[in-house]
Structure 1
């Protein structure tokens, strides 16, 4: 389906907001709870340093779970639509206009559902693990007091720490 005119502009604006605007918004929110720019872990690389206080949860740590929940809603709606319009979809997939076979379409649906099945439990587990070690929020200055410092962690230190 080809989109032209003002609706094409609306589609581009919507895509830019989703693909650029939302990530830039999250990056801006991440600064609120970012203790320093990053930490360097030997054998791993650079990792973002988030100060584990209550502001980190609504500004940074909850977003993967929110995106997973939104994906699960879309997944359920897609499966529901797929089953209610199954005959039309099979007719379209069987035609020459569709480059995708029904087997490939089924694999794509299974792949999308596994993403949803693993994202939400993994995010909940990470939130559970992080919330056990939460520290009290003192102030903006305290959170950003070491922002210019880049910490380096040798592998002997982080491999021997179970947390």
Structure 2
């Protein structure tokens, strides 16, 4: 056992816990509204936040293999999550573009098609890519002090294709939809602005709907692809290993490597990659809540839930009952 050496401990654990909890709050009414892309993204960010939270607590001061079953399961889920987050943000922007560019509300058939598309892209594709990752999985997992157990990759040309190309491709597609969405939003906003007779209505649309969507698309456009490219550059900088055979890659599969924090922090590139990976995945949960859990519609849901809770606890009574008395 070692004392925690992370200078930001336990702040990362706190962030991860909120990343797990906060996306679950707006998830219910997004399910009711058939916002499948947002729901998948919230679910994945919540799961990733939970995994990061548990890992940061369990391995805060040790590199012992104390939870092999947890590591086997969590690393596979985390692998799928690394694909699902950029794909989920792409689907969110795609849906925003469809809504912003449509002259009428999406029909039930269009929403059903969007649900099928989002399910394939945000759930099935990440699971398939996570399964294919076994091709370049040289060990079951590796344990880093302060970070926990994460996937171990045999860096080769095949690893670059399986690991780095899917996020870059989804980031480029997202950038295309980002530009189209922003163009449609500004055009749609101008039409709404011309149709409003009241300045208050115009202000409400600007502050509660227009600005959060624009900020989300801009943030998504400037973050997804650069992060994916930086991960590709890191793998190149660390050097590629030759692909000799399947047996060579998986020869030491059962051996669990460990790395104390002073070892992996001694390499600036590795430390930057590990820190960026865990902070970005945990930050996504808080970001998605700020954009979709603080709108006027969300505040209405909070008010209704708070009123029902007060009634359930006997702290409040309906207005009609009070008038009768």
The two structures have a TM-score, normalised by structure 1, of: 0.81
Q: Which runs of 5+ in 2 are unaligned?
A: 1-104, 199-203, 270-325
Q: Which runs of 4+ in 1 moved over 6 A?
A: 91-95
Q: Structure 1 unaligned segments of length 5 or more: list them.
A: none
User: In structure 2, how many angstroms separate the alpha carbons of the residues matched to 1:94 and 1:156?
Assistant: 63
**SS of corresponding position for 1:40:** strand
Q: How many residues align?
A: 161
Structure-to-structure mapping, 1:68-87, within 5 angstroms: 68-87=171-190
User: Structure 2: how far apart are the matches of 1:72 and 1:82?
Assistant: 15
Match of 1:147 among 253, 277, 282: 253
Deviations 1:59-102 (A, max 9, x none): 1222221121111111011112123333334468999xxxx731
Query: More deviation in 130-139 or 49-58?
Result: 130-139
1:102 matched residue in structure 2: 206
Gap change, CA 1:42 and 1:111, over 3 Å in 2: same
- d(CA) in 2 for partners of 1:137 and 1:19? 30
SS in 2 for 1:27: helix
Is 1:29 the counterpart of 2:132? The answer is yes
Q: CA deviation at 1:21?
A: 0.8
> 2:234 — aligned with what?
129
Distance 1:102 1:7, change over 3 A: closer
SS at match of 1:55: helix
TM-score by length of 2: 0.44
What RMSD in Å do the two structures reach over aligned CA positions? 2.8
Query: 1:57 maps to which residue?
Result: 160
Deviations 1:120-142 (A, max 9, x none): 22222221221131111111111
Q: Report Cα offsets for 1:12-65 as digits up to 9, x if no partner.
A: 433321221111111122111111121110111112111110000111222221
Counterpart position of 2:93: none
2:267 equivalent in structure 1: 161
Please identify, of 147-156 and 86-95, the stretch whose mean Cα deviation from structure 2 is larger: 86-95
| SS of aligned partner of 2:226 | helix
CA distance in 1, matches of 2:256, 2:146: 16
The higher-RCO structure (CA 8 Å, 6+ apart) is 1
Change over 3 Å in CA distance of 1:101–1:141 after alignment to 2: same
State the SS of the aligned residue for 1:79.
helix
Whole-Å separation in 2 of the counterparts to 1:152 and 1:61? 24
